């Protein structure tokens, strides 16, 4: 589902950062840390202090995985939308110079204010 070329909306659930795919930790550079993690049925998305990394699990067996790295320096704008009374999902939209817009719908308990502070710090730095 984390296919930035073919899907305009990604529905995600927050997960503990200790439950992310092991490969994410192997991809991190010195000083890079994961501060938020999400999943779909098979795919995962992490936000670090340097970039966004997605894991798009492909095929029936799931042995093939596409990893996409989106550095914060490529984000031109972003927005966050809190959940409401009837709409329980919060939304994050990022506008990337090369890919266009990616929209993430987050269901479940999620601290959007803290997340917004993190993203602001890294995108606006």
What is the reported pLDDT for 1?
36
Whole-model pTM?
0.85
What is the reported pLDDT for 113?
87
Structural contact between residues 70 and 56, judged by C-beta atoms closer than 8 angstroms: no
Instruction: Report helix, strand or coil for 112.
Output: helix
Mean pLDDT by 10 residues, the chain (125 residues): 53 92 94 94 93 90 89 91 74 84 83 90 89
Residue 14: inside a domain: yes
pLDDT in tens, 32-58: 999 999 998 889 999 999 999 999 888
Separation CA 67–CA 33 (nearest Å): 17
CATH number for position 34: 2.30.29.50
Residue 4: inside a domain: no
User: By residue range, what is the domain housing residue 103?
Assistant: 9-123
How far, in whole angstroms, is CA 51 from its chain's centroid? Answer: 9
């Amino acid at each position: 589902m984390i296919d930035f070329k073919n899907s305009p909306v990604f529905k995600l659930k927050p997960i503990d950062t200790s439950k992310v795919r092991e490969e994410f930790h192997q991809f991190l550079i010195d000083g890079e840390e994961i501060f938020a993690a999400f999943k779909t049925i098979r795919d995962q998305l992490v936000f670090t202090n340097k970039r966004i990394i997605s894991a798009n699990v492909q095929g029936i067996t799931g042995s093939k995985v596409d990893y996409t790295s989106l550095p914060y320096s490529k984000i031109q704008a972003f927005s966050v939308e809190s959940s409401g009374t009837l709409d329980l999902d919060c939304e994050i939209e990022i506008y990337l110079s090369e890919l266009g817009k990616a929209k993430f719908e987050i269901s479940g308990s999620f601290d959007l204010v803290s997340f917004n502070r993190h993203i602001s710090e890294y995108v606006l730095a």
